[in-house]
Amino acid sequence: MTSRNCTEITFPVRYAETDAMGVVYHSNYIIWFEVGRGDYMRQKGWEYADLEARGYYLPVSELEARFLTPARYGDLATVKTWLDELRSRKIAFAYEVVKEGTGEVLAVGHTKHVCTDKMGHVRSIPREVRDMLSAEVS
């Protein structure tokens, strides 16, 4: 599932992210996907913050996630992120979250994004970003 050109970022589970079942509350994986995505962009040579500074936004239009094994406080989580789809005005990422050390898969997911301007109007993803990423999905 992660044979593609994925990036990896590892961080400790926060106590704030756990819930009364003693495990990480499910919506936090969606935030971890965002951490993975931001890191992916950074590693590929663009900062999402810079994109916004230039007036481009990539809000999430759709997401899905499956939860396989619960993470707990004390665990380190690694988010693997890769590009799933790249079009002129859309981009999609895929994620696999594993438990550092054991490699157990904790969760998998996808997010779809539409490129917009500050007002929410659809725009084309800047060409240099597309050029930079096109090699990733060939």
Which residue numbers are catalytic?
19
CB of 20 to a copy of itself, least distance (A): 4
Rounded distance, CA 73 to CA 80, Å?
Answer: 20
Phi, psi (deg, nearest 5) at residue 89: -125, 5
- 23-52: contacts with a copy of itself (CB under 8 A): 23, 25-28, 30-31, 34-35, 38-39, 47-50, 52
CB of 21 to a copy of itself, least distance (A): 6
| CB of 99 vs a copy of itself, minimal distance in Å | 13
DSSP assignment letter at 13: P
Answer for which of 1, 45, 55, 62 binds a copy of itself (CB under 8 A) is 62
Phi/psi for 100 (5° steps) reads -60, 140
Q: Residue count at the site for a copy of itself (CB under 8 A)?
A: 41
Using CB under 8 A as the binding rule, the residues of this chain from 110 to 129 that contact a copy of itself are 120
- Let me know if 44 is exposed, middle or buried by CB neighbors in 10 A (0-12, 13-18, 19+): middle
Residue whose CB is less far from a copy of itself, 102 or 134? 102
d(CA 61, CA 38): 17
